[in-house]
Amino acid sequence: MSAATAPSHPTPPTPAADSPSPDPSPESSTKHPGASTGSSAAPAPAAPPGRRRALDWRVRFGLLSLIWGFSFLLIKVGTQAYAPFQVTFGRLLFGTAVLAVAMAVKRAGLPRGARTWGHLAVAAFFLNALPFSLFAYAELTIPSTLAGICNATSPLWGMALSLVALSEDRPTRRRVAGLGIGFLGVLTVLGAWQGFSGLDATGTAMALLASLSYPIGWIYVRRTLAGRSESHLALTGAQLFLATLQLAVVTPLFTSWPSSFPVAPLLAVVALGALGTGLAVLLQYGIVAEVGPTTGQMVTYFIPVIATAAGVTLLDEALTWNTPVGALVVLAGAALTQSRPKAGPPRRG
């Protein structure tokens, strides 16, 4: 979305929504815990024994769902006054600032080694800079509701890619069926039987490519940064910083300085970064550490529902029957792709 990223589902060491084996979001994208298709830079830290958090994890889970679900609305509002690259740069800048404060409070040092920073730069591109920019450009021509639903296809792309890129990730009939069901849901959302009429093909393709970018990043992280000794916070903070630098280079080349700074779009960009990219990462890490990645990744399935409700009620976006029906089919397929066979009882020799 974007989270996220947009939010966006799902979280390796970097997606923003994204845990050591769950699936972030989107927009989610900025974390290092894991993601819909991959694992992360390191296992999620265990919650200290005997330490009670101020807010129950269910409350934080609901808050995280709302933040990432509203990310697509915030992107739409931000692009009403600022260029997509500017929205993405602001999102990353404010998100990085939040993580920098968290790192300072926890005295988390930055990762060391040029090789690690090089891998983080690639992760920053696929998990932050590219998908965040694509979602921002997509929402120039498609509704935020459609962008939020496209974000939910990340687990489907991840499943398809893992069959090719991860030899240890063996497919099952259930997961392959989920892949087919999920893409059938995508066709339903897009109204394939009526020739995709009324949809902007370029904007929709950008949103789907943004969702594809997340699992590419997760798989890369799984292959290059898994098992690192640095904390998730340090890795993610460094990743967001590098993504911010990438946008700092690109933005001036393709945009001009805004002639004015309307308050509502500016606040949308600030909220998108500070809440949807910074605070959301911290919330997700805490949830994964407390209740595990399986429960933590369930946030992915709430994001398109909230994104659709926000777009329809607050932005007066049109909603036809095939959009919510297709979204439910997408989510059902995504859930199946994340299923794992239960371990059977030990065999007796």
Give, as one character, the DSSP assignment of residue 33. S
Q: What is the pLDDT of residues 58-71, one digit of tens each?
A: 899 999 999 999 99
Band (pLDDT 50/70/90 cuts) for residue 268 is very high
Q: What is the pLDDT of residues 230-246, one digit of tens each?
A: 888 999 999 999 999 99
**Mean pLDDT of the residues in the chain:** 80
What's the confidence (pLDDT) of residue 12? Answer: 40
Let me know: does 240 contact 60? Beta carbons within 8 Å. no
CA distance 341 to 339: 7
Three-class DSSP category at 5: strand
What's the confidence (pLDDT) of residue 183? Answer: 80
What's the confidence (pLDDT) of residue 170? Answer: 66
Specify the pTM.
Answer: 0.81
Its sign, for the CA torsion 17, 106, 89, 239, is negative
Three-class DSSP category at 16: strand
**Average pLDDT, stretch 196-213?**
88
What's the confidence (pLDDT) of residue 161? Answer: 86
Element (H, E) at 341: none
Q: What is the pLDDT of residues 140-194, one digit of tens each?
A: 999 999 999 899 888 888 888 877 776 556 667 887 888 788 888 888 877 776 6
CA distance 47 to 290: 5
Give, as one character, the DSSP assignment of residue 58. H
Three-class DSSP category at 29: strand
**CA nearest 10: which of 169, 213, 202?**
213
**Average pLDDT, stretch 86-115?**
94
CA distance 99 to 124: 15
162 or 137: whose pLDDT is higher?
137
**Average pLDDT, stretch 281-299?**
82
End-to-end CA distance of the chain: 51
**Average pLDDT, stretch 323-327?**
83
127 pLDDT higher than 80: yes
294 or 323: whose pLDDT is higher?
323
CA distance 338 to 349: 32
Let me know: does 128 contact 251? Beta carbons within 8 Å. no
